[in-house]
């Protein structure tokens, strides 16, 4: 098969890496890809927002299956466009992708189908939004309705901060039309977990659980980022909790989509807050998580291409995923200054030393060749397996210690929460 993967992050490198292990695959293309994908696939210089260009390429190269990484092309309708031309593509169509493309749609959908989530108000007018904030008080969360490159959610600790966020989104239009509406919601407290599942519109197959590390600094301090590291499995997600999440969020999600007349195929990712009252959905995403996909792919034994094919064909029922009984940890190496301003074009050293390590692999995110230079905020995802989470952490940081570039920074505490959770359980 000829496969096209769309995107250029650590997520896409991990997908390409896993796809490359399938005996079904003849050739992989990655658009636009990075220096890591270039080693396993042919990078194609087409941007993720050029969906007509991607279609033309897929037709020309007789692509048998396209896999979409980021949300943007999904929300823009790439699946509908490819399917109209009879091309196989893994991901939800435009109507289905609204679950991530519009926080208002998502919130109304969750309310309609009784999916536990934060209490919220929806506003099209900044004065009303501010009056609501004054009434409810802080902490409070302000969310732009549309896609905002991961920057549209502000967890405000004070009323003043929340008001400033509303003004930024609705008056200054920092995210353009994505800020025509806002969702203002209750600030939930607890531990977060990522539940990523694949569905063909009927059957839901949850992947192994994982946990992201959103804040830039250790101990969850500093501003939010795209994710500074992840591990799988997440011990906070016990089998019992997974059942609760399946029954209270994933199953009603599918029932709801069907009632809305939407055939939802592809990834459904529930960002969960495990609160004292039980798990609540922070948001649904219509794509794989990044960095979560990096440790998840390292643990997956099954043929990913077969899973994608069965999803597209509506035959997921026949799929039984197999996982390595080991833990995986991914530590993101970020550019100096990230998530703020940062430099690019810096040489990276030590990558050649990693290939000698048995259990570690470096997924590239913001890199470009030739010679592997930094090209983004999140530069690399150093990912390692271990027989326990503790060993996986040690293996990942051992690999990290071999790599360097000017200004590089990373969190030192990736996986600590898993250890804490396991220790607490051992004491009970
Ligand atoms: P979202 O894009 O909606 O997942 O939000 C990004 C991040 O903001 C989440 O992963 C949480 O860390 C945080 N967040 C979003 N909604 C809430 C909420 N209602 N309460 C607390 N934190 C939240
Ligand atoms: N890791 C968070 C996300 O992919 O949205």
Residue 131 pLDDT: 96
Residue nearest to atom 5 of ligand 2 (CA): 289
Q: Indicate if the pLDDT at residue 151 is higher than 90.
A: no
Q: Determine whether the shortest distance from the Cβ of 185 to ligand 1 is under 6 A.
A: yes
Residue 149 pLDDT: 83
Q: Indicate if the pLDDT at residue 428 is higher than 80.
A: no
Cβ count near 62 (within 10 Å): 9
Q: What is the DSSP letter of 219?
A: G
Q: Confidence class of residue 355 from pLDDT cuts 50, 70 and 90?
A: confident
CA distance 222 to 177: 28
Q: Which two tokens stand for residue 74?
A: 């999904």
Q: Ligand 2 centroid vs 61 CA: distance in angstroms?
A: 31
CA distance 247 to 83: 31
**What is each CA distance from 170 to 184, 234, 315, in whole angstroms?**
12, 37, 44
Average pLDDT estimate for 265-269? 98
Q: Indicate if the pLDDT at residue 197 is higher than 80.
A: yes
Between 15-19, 342-346, 353-357, the lowest mean confidence (pLDDT) is in 353-357
Closest ligand to 269 CA? 2
Architecture of domain 2-93: 3-Layer(aba) Sandwich (3.40)
Residue 201 pLDDT: 96
> Yes or no: is domain 125-180 CATH 3.30.420.10?
no
- What helix, strand, coil percent values describe the chain, rounded to 5? 35, 25, 35
292 CA closest ligand 2 atom index: 1
- Residue-wise pLDDT for 374-401, tens only, equals 999 999 999 999 999 999 999 999 999 9
Q: Ligand 2 centroid vs 212 CA: distance in angstroms?
A: 7
Average pLDDT estimate for 401-405? 98
Q: Ligand 2 centroid vs 56 CA: distance in angstroms?
A: 29
Does the reported pTM lie above 0.85? yes
- Is 385 in contact with 299 (CB distance < 8 Å)? yes
- Ligand 2 probe mutation, 101, 289, 334, most atoms within 8 A of CB: 289
Q: Indicate if the pLDDT at residue 78 is higher than 80.
A: yes
What percent of the chain shows pLDDT beyond 90? Answer: 96
Q: Ligand 1 centroid vs 275 CA: distance in angstroms?
A: 13
Between 61-75, 126-140, 144-158, the lowest mean confidence (pLDDT) is in 144-158
- Is 283 in contact with 271 (CB distance < 8 Å)? yes
Q: Which two tokens stand for residue 231?
A: 């591990």
- Residue-wise pLDDT for 105-122, tens only, equals 999 999 999 999 999 999
Q: Determine whether the shortest distance from the Cβ of 292 to ligand 2 is under 6 A.
A: yes
- Residue-wise pLDDT for 48-69, tens only, equals 999 999 999 999 999 999 999 9
Residue 150 pLDDT: 78
Q: Indicate if the pLDDT at residue 246 is higher than 80.
A: yes
Residue 356 pLDDT: 87
**What is each CA distance from 184 to 121, 137, 194, in whole angstroms?**
5, 11, 22
Average pLDDT estimate for 183-196? 97
Domain 191-427: which topology? D-amino Acid Aminotransferase; Chain A, domain 1 (3.30.470)
Angle between the N-to-C axes of helices 389-400 and 416-427, in degrees from 0 to 180, rounded to the nearest 10 = 160
Residue 427 pLDDT: 85
Average pLDDT estimate for 268-285? 97
Angle between the N-to-C axes of helices 304-313 and 10-19, in degrees from 0 to 180, rounded to the nearest 10 = 100
What percent of the chain shows pLDDT beyond 70? Answer: 100
- Summary mean pLDDT of the chain: 96
Residue 425 pLDDT: 87
Is there a common fold for 2-93 and 125-180? no
Give the start-to-end residue ranges of the domains of the chain: 2-93, 125-180, 191-427
* Cis? peptide before 233, omega within 30° of 0: yes
Residue 311 pLDDT: 98
Q: Ligand 1 centroid vs 155 CA: distance in angstroms?
A: 7
Q: Ligand 2 centroid vs 293 CA: distance in angstroms?
A: 9
Q: Indicate if the pLDDT at residue 208 is higher than 80.
A: yes
287 CA closest ligand 2 atom index: 4
N-terminal to C-terminal alpha carbon distance within the chain: 51
């Amino acid at each position: 098969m000829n496969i096209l993967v769309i995107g250029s992050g650590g997520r896409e490198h991990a997908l390409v890496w896993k796809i490359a292990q399938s005996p079904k695959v003849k050739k992989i293309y990655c658009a636009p890809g990075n220096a890591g994908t270039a080693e396993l696939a042919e990078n194609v210089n087409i941007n993720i927002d050029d969906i007509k260009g991607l279609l033309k390429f897929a037709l020309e190269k007789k692509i048998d299956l396209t896999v979409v990484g980021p949300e943007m092309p999904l929300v823009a309708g790439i699946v509908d466009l490819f399917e109209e031309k009879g091309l196989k593509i893994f991901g939800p169509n435009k109507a289905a992708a609204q679950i991530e493309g519009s926080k208002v749609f998502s919130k109304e959908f969750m309310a309609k189908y009784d999916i536990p989530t934060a209490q919220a108000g929806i506003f099209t007018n900044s004065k009303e939004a501010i009056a609501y904030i004054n009434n409810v008080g802080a902490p409070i969360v302000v969310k732009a309705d549309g896609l905002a490159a991961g920057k549209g959610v502000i967890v405000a600790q004070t009323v003043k901060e929340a008001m400033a966020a509303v003004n930024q989104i609705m008056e200054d239009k920092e995210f353009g039309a994505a800020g025509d509406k806002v969702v203002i919601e209750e600030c939930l407290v607890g531990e977060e977990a990522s539940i990523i599942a694949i569905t063909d519109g009927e059957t839901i197959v949850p992947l192994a659980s994982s946990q992201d590390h959103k804040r830039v600094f250790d101990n969850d301090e500093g501003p939010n980022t795209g994710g500074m590291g992840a591990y799988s499995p997440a011990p906070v997600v016990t089998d019992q909790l997974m059942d609760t999440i399946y029954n209270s969020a994933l199953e009603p999600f599918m029932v709801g989509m069907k009632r809305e007349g939407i055939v939802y195929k592809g990834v459904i990712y529930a960002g969960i807050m495990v609160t004292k009252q039980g798990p609540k959905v922070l948001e649904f995403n219509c794509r794989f998580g990044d960095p979560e996909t990096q440790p998840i792919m390292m643990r997956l034994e099954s043929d990913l291409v077969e899973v994608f094919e069965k999803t597209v064909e509506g035959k997921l029922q026949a799929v039984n995923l197999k996982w390595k009984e080991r833990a995986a940890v991914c530590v993101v190496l970020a550019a100096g200054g990230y998530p703020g301003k940062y430099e690019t074009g810096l040489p990276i050293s030590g990558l050649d030393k990693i290939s000698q390590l048995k259990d570690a692999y470096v997924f590239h995110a913001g890199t470009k060749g030739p010679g592997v230079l930094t090209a983004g905020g999140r530069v690399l995802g150093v990912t390692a397996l271990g027989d326990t989470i503790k060993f996986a952490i040690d293996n990942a940081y051992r690999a990290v210690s071999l790599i360097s570039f000017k200004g590089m920074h990373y969190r030192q505490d990736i996986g600590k929460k898993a250890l804490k959770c396991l220790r607490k359980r051992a004491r009970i």
